[in-house]
């Protein structure tokens, strides 16, 4: 499959086959790395890593993934370049596109990563925006595939803030590859109708279902319970309001038991606020695969760079 030269901004832009290809490629790269074998597909390539928002997993994953494949990553924090301040995003994109072979962006407006992709002339990868977090979804899929052996037909339930970038991206990704997807959230935090409609279209094609409810009875039969922080970056002022809205949606042992399956796993994109969206007990339990997920960010991000930029 040829993804050369493509940007990776949202999973909306990729077919189910392309998404599965990236997940499988990540699995192969992971197996090679475990044997101590690294590649050279990014040899001679320079990659710009633009971070408006700080990061542990995304920054480390892009850095190590690039170095493992022989490339050179250059970290550009919000104080290192003039992105959108003294210089427009369009102009910065055209400058960086002449110097770098690929650009990662992690920040606020999704429009910024779209402009970088439009004007730079090189592959641009979304390391997170306010709307989407597609590299995380690939890591989640690799983790589920490793654990269950398959993706299509799994029952996936997301609890918490149902309109943040994680809920949006998980709904897109699950609908595309045939995972039955449920959001359990208070009505005030349900995703936008347009996105639900779009994903219902994807689900129709893949043979999966989408359900949005405010009842925790929706966890029955779940293979995966997933949550995220109740306050996304930049929303810290809403903490008290969110805790009041979401305290009934905490993933705890009682909720895990409510699935009716002893094989249900717990997932979280991290960092987690233990005692809020998930209890320490569940987070540290054998059902928790959060650190497999965290490691898989690196293997899946490497796969995206190799597939879109690598030789």
- Annotated binding residue 299: no
- Annotated binding residue 28: no
Q: How many residues does the chain have?
A: 311
Q: Provide the pLDDT for residue 85.
A: 82
To which H or E segment does residue 92 belong?
A: helix 89-99
Tokens linked to 153:
């037909």
- 236 vs 150: CA distance, rounded Å: 37
Q: Provide the pLDDT for residue 82.
A: 80
- 81 vs 60: CA distance, rounded Å: 20
Tokens linked to 156:
């996936």
Query: How much is the pTM?
Result: 0.97
Q: Provide the pLDDT for residue 218.
A: 98
- 212 vs 187: CA distance, rounded Å: 9
- Annotated binding residue 88: no
- 167 vs 161: CA distance, rounded Å: 7
pLDDT tens by residue, 158-172: 999 999 999 999 999
- Annotated binding residue 191: no
- 37 vs 40: CA distance, rounded Å: 10
Give the catalytic positions in this structure: 106, 133, 136, 228, 269, 297
Q: Provide the pLDDT for residue 273.
A: 95
- Annotated binding residue 250: no
Contact 160, 214 (CB under 8 A): no
Q: Provide the pLDDT for residue 298.
A: 98
pLDDT tens by residue, 62-94: 999 999 999 999 999 988 988 888 899 999 999
Beta strands in the chain (DSSP E): 46-51, 72-77, 102-106, 124-128, 155-159, 180-184, 210-213, 224-227, 265-268
Q: How far apart are the first and last CA of the chain?
A: 13
- Annotated binding residue 297: yes
- Annotated binding residue 198: no
Contact 69, 307 (CB under 8 A): no
Please enumerate in sequence order all residues whose Cβ is within 8 A of that of 85, keeping only pairs 6 or more positions apart, or say none: none
Contact 122, 6 (CB under 8 A): no
- Annotated binding residue 136: yes
- Annotated binding residue 10: no
Q: How far is CA 107 from the centre of its chain?
A: 14
Q: Which residues of 157-174 are buried (b: 16+ CB within 10 A; e: fewer)?
A: bbbbbbbbbbbbbbbbbb
Beta strands in 68-199 (DSSP E): 72-77, 102-106, 124-128, 155-159, 180-184
Ordered by where they begin, the domains of the chain are 11-133+294-309 (3.40.50.1370), 134-289 (3.40.50.1370)
Q: Provide the pLDDT for residue 233.
A: 72
Q: How far is CA 300 from the centre of its chain?
A: 10
DSSP for residue 192: P
Mean pLDDT per 10-residue section of the chain, whose length is 311 residues: 97 98 98 97 98 96 98 95 88 97 97 98 98 98 98 98 97 98 98 98 98 98 98 82 95 98 98 97 98 98 98 92
Contact 171, 183 (CB under 8 A): yes
- Annotated binding residue 135: yes
């Amino acid at each position: 499959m040829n993804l050369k030269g493509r940007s990776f901004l949202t999973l909306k832009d990729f077919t189910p086959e392309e998404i599965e290809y990236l997940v499988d490629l990540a699995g192969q790269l992971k197996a090679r790395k475990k044997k101590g074998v690294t590649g050279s597909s990014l040899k001679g390539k320079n990659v710009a890593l633009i971070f408006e928002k700080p990061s542990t997993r995304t920054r480390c994953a892009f850095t190590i993934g690039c170095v493992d494949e022989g490339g050179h990553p250059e970290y550009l924090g919000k104080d290192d370049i003039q992105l959108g301040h003294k210089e427009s995003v369009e102009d910065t994109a055209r400058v960086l596109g002449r110097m770098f072979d690929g650009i990662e962006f992690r920040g606020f407006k999704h429009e910024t990563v779209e402009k970088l992709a439009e004007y730079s002339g090189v592959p641009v990868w979304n390391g997170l925006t306010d709307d989407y977090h597609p590299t995380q979804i690939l890591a989640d899929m690799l983790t589920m595939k490793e654990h269950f052996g398959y993706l299509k037909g799994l029952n996936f339930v997301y609890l918490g803030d149902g309109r943040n970038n994680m809920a949006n991206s998980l709904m897109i990704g699950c609908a595309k590859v045939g995972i039955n997807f449920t959001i359990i959230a208070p009505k005030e935090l349900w995703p936008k109708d347009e996105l639900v409609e779009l994903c219902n279209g994807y689900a129709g094609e893949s043979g999966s279902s989408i359900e949005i409810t405010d009842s925790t009875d929706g966890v029955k039969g779940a293979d995966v319970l997933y949550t995220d922080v109740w306050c996304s970056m930049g929303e810290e002022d809403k903490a008290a309001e969110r805790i009041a809205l979401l305290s009934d949606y905490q993933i705890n042992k009682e909720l895990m038991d409510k699935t009716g399956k002893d094989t249900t796993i717990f997932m979280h994109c991290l960092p987690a606020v233990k005692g809020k969206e998930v209890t320490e007990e569940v987070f540290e339990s054998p059902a928790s695969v959060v650190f497999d997920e965290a490691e898989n960010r690196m293997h899946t991000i490497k796969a995206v760079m190799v597939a879109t930029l690598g030789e």
